[in-house]
Amino acid sequence: MKSSALGAIGAVKTDSQISLQAHRALKGLLLAPRAAFIALLRLNIGGLASVLAQTAFEVSPEVTATQKAPNFWWDLQAKWRNAWWNLGGHWTAFVNAVNAGKNKKPLFKNLLPKDIGSKLDQLGIGGIEETPIGVDPATAGTTATNASVIILAVGKLLIMTLNVLLDNKREKEKDEFAMDLSAEEAKNNERRIQEAHEIAIENARIEQERKRKELEESNALSLSNLLTNEDGTISQAGYGIVGVAVLGLLMVGTKKKGKKLI
């Protein structure tokens, strides 16, 4: 197909829009393949509608806050707007198709080119095995064939859009890993603090026990030194203490018998 809307490799222009005259010419020329592509979006073939809803449209202010130039949703939407105009399409029909398919389970990923299917695999997006009621696989295959001209034209843009979603996924996984790592480090720090506290308590108990034993040994040693000489014989002080003790015992015994010592 020869048109100013398509480059040498069949990729549609996304950085600007063709003239109104060229757009009107392609509006009729690409009517059938464009309608087939719209049908693919409505069925969410390969999860394309879901992918576009997450990248080329606003999801929420929170999601927008995580996006970066030049891949804000409005940046990608501008490219898709230009692409769809340059293929003779009406933007409202495109938006309606995305909204109709974005919440449906992805279908028949195998109907899309392998390079697109590979990106979908990396994102964990695949077509469900069972065929939903009301969806004819043969008809879906025919629709994909009819839409092949459009799929080829937007293929480069679609790969870029999928890469943005992949980058977002990797960034999210990176952040989640960092959060998990921080949580694990916090747990490890808490455990180390607890262990240090327990060790400090045990060391304090050991030190207290050591001092108690030293005090007992010191008291015993002081009494022994008081009662004995260096050669082990009883000292004069020892005899005195013993004498006082004996006298005390005698006085207690005599008092019980009612006698006086003096």
Interval 199-250: pLDDT, tens? 888 888 888 888 888 777 776 656 556 556 666 666 665 556 556 555 565 6
Q: What is the pLDDT of residue 24?
A: 94
Residue-level pLDDT at 227: 58
Domain assignment present for residue 186? The answer is no
Q: For position 246, what pLDDT does the model report?
A: 56
| Separation of alpha carbons 83 and 151, rounded Å | 12
Q: Which of 145, 173, 201 is the endpoint of a domain?
A: 173
- Which of residues 141, 173, 205 is at a domain's end? 173
pTM: 0.61
Regions of the chain short of the pLDDT cut 50: 1-9, 261
Q: What is the pLDDT of residue 82?
A: 94
Residue 161 lies in a domain: yes
Task: Tell me which residue range forms the domain holding 262.
Answer: 236-262
The rounded distance, in Å, linking the Cα atoms of 81 and 12 is 11
What CA–CA distance (Å, rounded) separates 43 from 49? 8
The pLDDT value given to residue 238: 56
What pLDDT does residue 116 have? 87
Give me the pLDDT at residue 46, please.
87
Judgement on whether residues 56 and 132 belong to the same structural domain of the protein? yes
pLDDT value of residue 154: 92
Query: Do both 140 and 259 map to the same domain?
Result: no
Determine, yes or no, domain membership for 199.
Answer: no
**DSSP letter (8 states) at residue 109:** G
Q: Do 157 and 251 reside in the same domain of the chain?
A: no
Tokens of 255: 């008092």
The number of domains in the chain is: 2
**Same domain for 82 and 165?**
yes
Domain shared by 43 and 162, yes or no: yes
User: Quick check: is 256 in a domain?
Assistant: yes
Same domain, 135 and 245: no
Q: Which of 135, 151, 173 is the last residue of a domain?
A: 173
Residue 54 located in a structural domain: yes
Q: Are residues 39 and 134 in the same domain?
A: yes
- The pLDDT, as a whole number, for residue 134 is 65
CA dist 52 and 48 (Å) reads 6
Instruction: Report if residue 225 sits inside a domain.
Output: no
Quick check: is 11 in a domain?
Answer: no
Co-location of 154 and 64 in the same domain: yes
Is residue 36 included in any domain, yes or no?
yes
Residue 3: what pLDDT? 44
pLDDT reported for residue 109: 78
Q: Give the model's pLDDT for residue 195.
A: 84
Residues 6+ apart with CB under 8 A from 105: 44, 128, 132
Characterize 89-107 residue by residue with b for buried, 16 or more Cβ atoms within 10 angstroms of its Cβ, and e for exposed.
beeeebbebbeebbebebb
Contact between 12 and 157 under an 8 Å Cβ cutoff? The reply is yes
